[in-house]
Chain A
Amino acid sequence: MSLDLKFTYTEKKDTRSGFGDGFLEAGRKNPNVVGLCADLIGSLKMGDFQKEFPDRFFQTGIAEANMIGISAGLAIGGKIPFAGTFANFATGRVYDQIRQSVAYSDKNVKICASHAGLTLGEDGATHQILEDLGMMKMLPHMTVINPCDYNQTKAATLAIAEYEGPVYLRFGRPSWPIFTPADQKFEIGKAWKMIDGKDVTIFATGHLVWEAVVAEAMLREEGIHAEVINIHTIKPLDEAAILESVKKTGCAVSAEEHQINGGLGDSIAQVLSRHHPSPLEYVGVNDSFGESGTPTELLEKYGLNAENIVKAAKRALARK
Chain B
Amino acid sequence: MKKQSIEQLQKTCTQLRRDVLRMVHAVQSGHPGAPLGCAEFFVALYFDQLRHNPDFKMDGKGEDIFFLSNGHLSAGWYSVLARSGYFPVSELKTFRKLNSRLQGHPATHEHLPGIRIASGSLGQGLSVALGAAQAKKIDQDDKLVYILMGDGELQEGQVWEAAMYAAHHKVDNLIATVDYNGQQIDGPTKKIMDLMNLKAKWEAFGWEVNEIKEGNDMKSVLEGLEKAKALTGKGKPVLNLLYTEMGYGVDFMVGTHKWHGSPPNDEQLAQALGQLEETLGDY
A69 x B59 contact (CB < 8 A): no
Contact pick for B158, options A56, A76, A97, CB 8 Å = A97
B88 close to chain A: CB less than 8 A:
no
A66 x B165 contact (CB < 8 A): yes
- How many residues on B have C-beta within 8 angstroms of the other chain's C-beta atoms? 38
Contact pick for A77, options B60, B108, B168, CB 8 Å = B60
Cα distance, A34 to B127, chains bound together (Å)? 16
Contact pick for B121, options A55, A74, A96, CB 8 Å = A96
CB proximity to B under 8 Å, residues A55-80: 55-56, 58, 60-61, 63, 65-79
Residues on B with C-beta less than 8 A from A107 are 117
A81 close to chain B: CB less than 8 A:
yes
Minimum C-beta distance from B160 to chain A (A): 9
Closest A residue to B163 by beta carbon equals A66
B161 x A76 contact (CB < 8 A): no
Minimum C-beta distance from A52 to chain B (A): 15
Cα distance, A142 to B165, chains bound together (Å)? 27
Contact pick for A58, options B59, B118, B169, CB 8 Å = B169
B158 x A100 contact (CB < 8 A): no
Minimum C-beta distance from A283 to chain B (A): 36
Known: A69-B126, A104-B118. A74 touches B134 (CB 8 A): yes
Known: A77-B61, A78-B59. A105 touches B117 (CB 8 A): yes
Minimum C-beta distance from A297 to chain B (A): 36
Residues on B with C-beta less than 8 A from A65 are 123-124, 127, 157-158, 161
A69 x B116 contact (CB < 8 A): no
CB proximity to A under 8 Å, residues B246-265: none
A195-213 contact mask (Cβ, 8 Å, vs B): 1 or 0: 0000000000000000000
Minimum C-beta distance from A7 to chain B (A): 41
B135 x A79 contact (CB < 8 A): yes
Residues on A with C-beta less than 8 A from B228 are none
Known: A73-B130, A73-B134, A101-B117. A66 touches B158 (CB 8 A): yes
Known: A69-B158, A97-B124. A81 touches B131 (CB 8 A): yes
Residues on B with C-beta less than 8 A from A101 are 117-118, 124, 127-128
B135 x A63 contact (CB < 8 A): no
Known: A68-B127, A69-B127, A69-B130. A74 touches B135 (CB 8 A): yes
Cα distance, A77 to B130, chains bound together (Å)? 11
CB proximity to B under 8 Å, residues A170-227: none
B109 x A104 contact (CB < 8 A): yes
Closest A residue to B111 by beta carbon equals A106
CB proximity to B under 8 Å, residues A9-67: 34, 55-56, 58, 60-61, 63, 65-67
Closest B residue to A67 by beta carbon equals B127
Residues on A with C-beta less than 8 A from B129 are 73
CB proximity to A under 8 Å, residues B132-184: 132-136, 138-139, 157-158, 161-162, 164-165, 168-169
Cα distance, A75 to B129, chains bound together (Å)? 11
Residues on A with C-beta less than 8 A from B158 are 63, 65-66, 69, 97
Chain B residues engaging chain A, CB cutoff 8 angstroms: 58-61, 65, 107-109, 116-121, 123-136, 138-139, 157-158, 161-162, 164-165, 168-169
Q: Which 5 A-B pairs have the closest CB atoms?
A: A73-B131, A77-B135, A69-B127, A63-B161, A66-B161
14 contacts across the A-B interface (CB closer than 8 A): A65-B123, A65-B161, A67-B127, A73-B117, A73-B133, A73-B134, A76-B116, A77-B59, A77-B134, A96-B124, A100-B124, A101-B124, A101-B128, A105-B116
Chain A residues engaging chain B, CB cutoff 8 angstroms: 34, 55-56, 58, 60-61, 63, 65-79, 81, 96-97, 99-101, 104-107
